Amino acid sequence: MRRETYRRVRGLHTAISRPDGLDIMDTDGRRHHGVNQDWYDNFWRRKAGCGPCTATNMLRYFRGRLTLPMPADTPQEALALMNWAWGYVTPTLMGLNSTQLFQQGMDAILAELGSPMRCRVLDVPDSPDDRPLEQQVAAFLRAGLQADSPVAFLNLHNAGLPELDNWHWVTLTALSEGPEGLTATAADNGNLITLDLSRWLKEAKRGGGFVTCA
């Protein structure tokens, strides 16, 4: 097994420039941190819609850099965008289970909207011995966030992290690097959660990966 040579940085925090850029206000005043796949009105889309929802979060955040095909300021409007994104970032019978499927769908959306932005991928293989080092993951996430892109995160096993569902996409908005490792803030179904990425990289029984767009 490779030796981990990453000397962790103390107190380095990187985040998107507008932490509220994913937020949606409901008619009753409730704030949603990004969209919620439970808003889909179809059972299969509610079950498998985490990838298209993550794409929708990214598209809503990029509104200052591209023109969306519809407004997405309320949950009802956001649902229309979620359904539109599904047509590009489309789950298979196994869900949206690869970063390549997400990248291809998002790049098709960006091209359709006339945007020069394109996606970059960092894969995390199933085998721990083949995974990128923690410092490589940190550098990839840091670069994406510094380019003001939320980061799509696919995990195919949650490594026992209670706040993270298995076989699931979430939207990373911030990264903290400290003596205890990498910690990320993520939007997931309208909530903000904190994830121990160092633990995930070491203990996940299956891999996943990260996607940024810039």
Is 200 within 8 Å of 33 (Cβ atoms)?
no
The pLDDT of residue 207: 98
Q: Is 169 exposed, middle or buried (0-12, 13-18, 19+ CB in 10 A)?
A: buried
The pLDDT of residue 9: 56
Place domain 12-213 in its CATH homologous superfamily.
Answer: Cysteine proteinases (3.90.70.10)
Give tens-digit pLDDT for 43-55: 999 999 999 999 9
Residue % of the chain over a pLDDT of 70: 95
The pLDDT of residue 4: 45
Is residue 149 classed as helix, strand or coil in its secondary structure?
A: coil
The pLDDT of residue 2: 40
Count of residues for the chain? 214
The pLDDT of residue 8: 56
Consecutive 10-residue averages of pLDDT for the chain (214 residues): 47 96 94 98 97 98 96 96 98 97 98 98 97 98 98 98 98 96 98 98 98 97
CA–CA distance from 106 to each of 56, 84, 90, 160, 179 (Å)?
Answer: 10, 12, 10, 29, 35
* Domain positions in the chain: 12-213
φ/ψ region of 209 (left if φ > 0, alpha if ψ in -120 to 50, else beta) reads: left
